[in-house]
A and B are shown apart, each in its own frame.
Chain A
Amino acid sequence: MRKWALRILFFMLFMLMSYSVLQMPGDIGLDSPAYNEATHHYIEESLGETGAINIIASILTDYRAFDTLGETIVLFTSIIAVISILRPSAKPEEEEAPTDG
């Protein structure tokens, strides 16, 4: 029962979102609002400003390099987190039975 109610709910959410999507700018291409002066600047000036012919690389590690830094830190954090969970702890700790609070 609850399963079906949830399904209907999600379907309604889907219909709602589809309805909204159909009112969004659909003219994929040069007229779409996202293709604005910033995009033109990236395409036309990035070679002169960064020297890389791959525009994505030039944005990734020059214009928005701070995001990339943040992203490497996400990786760093995740590995610290995984190790802190999974790597066996010191020997005396291991012999203790897991205690409950």
Chain B
Amino acid sequence: MIEFLQMLYDYVNYLGAVALFIIGLHTVVTHSNLIKRIMGINIMGTAVFYFFIAIGNVTGGLPPILTDTPGEYINPLPSVLILTGIVVVVSITVYSLSLVIRIYETYGTIDQDEIAKINERENADD
């Protein structure tokens, strides 16, 4: 039991990232509110980035900026990939937010289910 808990403690970063990923995915899939779904995408994104950072981590390591301090540096590559990733997710967020504004202006709601209802009603009228 202690060993298992110790193992969980060792893997806390990976497990946390996985949990956040699942929570984000759940938010995207189940919620009908569009802004909530965008938040879900953001949570998923940070979870993946967190996973990357956890891969690059070295216990007791130094930040990857060369100094005279003795010690091992952490793996710099994941951080670089993440810097790119963060900006990408922000761009997607901004784009979807602008879509939300337009959807609100044309439909008067930002709820996926209500939008589907409105669409159905209009198609029935044709």
Contacts and interface: CB of A to CB of B under 8 A. Distances in A.
Q: Do chains A and B touch in the complex (CB under 8 A)?
A: yes
Interface of A: 3, 6-7, 10, 13-14, 17-18, 21-22, 24, 26, 28-30, 32, 34-35, 38-39, 42-43, 47, 53-56, 59-60, 64, 67-68, 70-71, 74-75, 77-78, 81-82, 85-86, 98, 100
A17 B22 contact: yes
A59 B76 contact: yes
Contacts of B79: 56
| B: contact size bracket | 35 or more
B59 A43 contact: no
B91 A86 contact: no
Contacts, number: 114
B76 A55 contact: yes
B108 interface: no
